[in-house]
Amino acid sequence: MSRVIAVANQKGGVGKTTTAVNLAASLSHLGKKVLLIDCDPQGNASSGLGVRIDAKAPCLHTFLTDPSAPPPILRPLAPKLDMALLPSHSGLAATEIELFSHDHAETILLRRLSTIKEGYAFVILDCPPSLGMLTVNSLTAAEGVVIPLQCEYYAMEGLTLLLDSIRKIRLRFNPYLSVEGIVLTMFDRRNNLSHQVANEIRNHLGYRVFDTIIPRNVRLSESPSYGLPVLLYDAGCPGAKTYLQLSRELMAGGIS
């Protein structure tokens, strides 16, 4: 049985890609077979793992639109980490528009994924910063959503919109979608707003907030430029330790 988990928040710069990449690497390090799918035309999850492919190379676009092509799955970290990556690049921006002309466009990723997902314990989807067709496809294909949230005042407003979209997706396309949890990212210990935000989410929205809080850690922002998840860049740093802890929490099972 594989668990498909979307890392989503329509807000940019909240730590989606950092969470998707490092969660995937941590789960892989703990012995799970993991496929990371870069669902963002910006291709940050791909470049953050050292994969820079030109705009004609097979990517998620190929996977979604050409069922006869072999799935373009790479293993950029082998032999250190046997984690699989389905990359993307700027060409995926056109996919978003192209998908609209397909019948049942919202379920294309779900259907395509069903042909490959059984080989993996976890499939992690790094969503783009929008609620467009690629995010809708990701949420339709997923059983769980992990929502990275930066601890700031405006984060709550964006969250309400996202939770609303999740409710709509449940009604229309995917009744099995559950919120695995909200993960607080870029936490600054000197600022107690984080605790207020966490309490507010628990009290007012009733959603689970992961016990693990990801601190602001410069190692996390440096590692993508070396094409590495933080675990292979500086295994002892707080970013690496907390993402490992988060992956253990996720493995222990999500609650809606």
Ligand X SMILES: Nc1ncnc2c1ncn2[C@@H]1O[C@H](COP(=O)(O)OP(=O)(O)O)[C@@H](O)[C@H]1O
Residues that bind Mg ion (CB under 5 A): 16-17, 44
Provide the minimum distance between the beta carbon of 127 and Mg ion in the complex, in angstroms, as a whole number. 8
Q: From the list ligand X, Mg ion, none, which binds 186 (C-beta under 5 to 8 Å, kind-based)?
A: ligand X
Question: Closest separation between CB of residue 16 and Mg ion, Å?
Answer: 5
Output the residue with the shortest Cβ distance to Mg ion: 17
Taking CB under 6 A as the binding criterion, the range among 6-14, 73-81, 115-123, 153-161 that sits at the site for ligand X is 6-14
In whole angstroms, the minimum distance from the beta carbon of 35 to Mg ion comes to 17
Which span sits near ligand X by CB under 6 A: 65-73, 131-139, 192-200, 215-223?
A: 215-223
Closer by beta carbon to ligand X, 186 or else 240: 186
CB-based contacts of 180, cutoff 8 Å, min separation 6: 5, 144, 145, 146, 208, 250, 254, 255
Q: Does 241 bind ligand X (CB under 6 A)?
A: no
d(CA 201, CA 184): 11
Residue 90 interacts with, from Mg ion, ligand X, none (CB under 5-8 Å by kind):
none
Q: Which of 129, 132, 158, 227 binds ligand X (CB under 6 A)?
A: 129
Contact map string, positions 151 to 190, toward ligand X, x by CB under 6 A: ----------------------------------xx----
* Binding of ligand X by 67 (CB under 6 A): no
| DSSP string across the chain | --EEEEE--SSTTSSHHHHHHHHHHHHHHTT--EEEEE--TT-HHHHTTT----TTS--HHHHHH-TTSPP--B-TTTTT---EEE---TTHHHHHHHHTTSTTGGGHHHHHHTTTGGG-SEEEEE--SSSSHHHHHHHHH-SEEEEEEESSTTHHHHHHHHHHHHHHHHHHT-TT-EEEEEEEESB-TT-THHHHHHHHIIIII---B-S--PBP-HHHHHGGGGT--HHHH-TTSHHHHHHHHHHHHHHT----
In the block, residue with structure tokens 């002892």? 236
Half-sphere exposure of 140 (CA within 13 A, CB side): 23
Contact call for residue 217 and ligand X (CB under 6 A)? yes
* Residue 14 near which of Mg ion, ligand X, none (CB within 5-8 Å, type-dependent): ligand X
In this chain, which of 2, 10, 44, 95 binds ligand X, going by CB under 6 A? 44
Contact between 230 and ligand X by CB under 6 A: the answer reads: no
Nearer to ligand X, 186 or 197 (CB): 186
For residue 69, the minimal CB distance to ligand X (Å) is 27
Query: What residues line the site for ligand X (CB under 6 A)?
Result: 12-18, 44, 129, 185-186, 214, 216-217, 220-221, 239
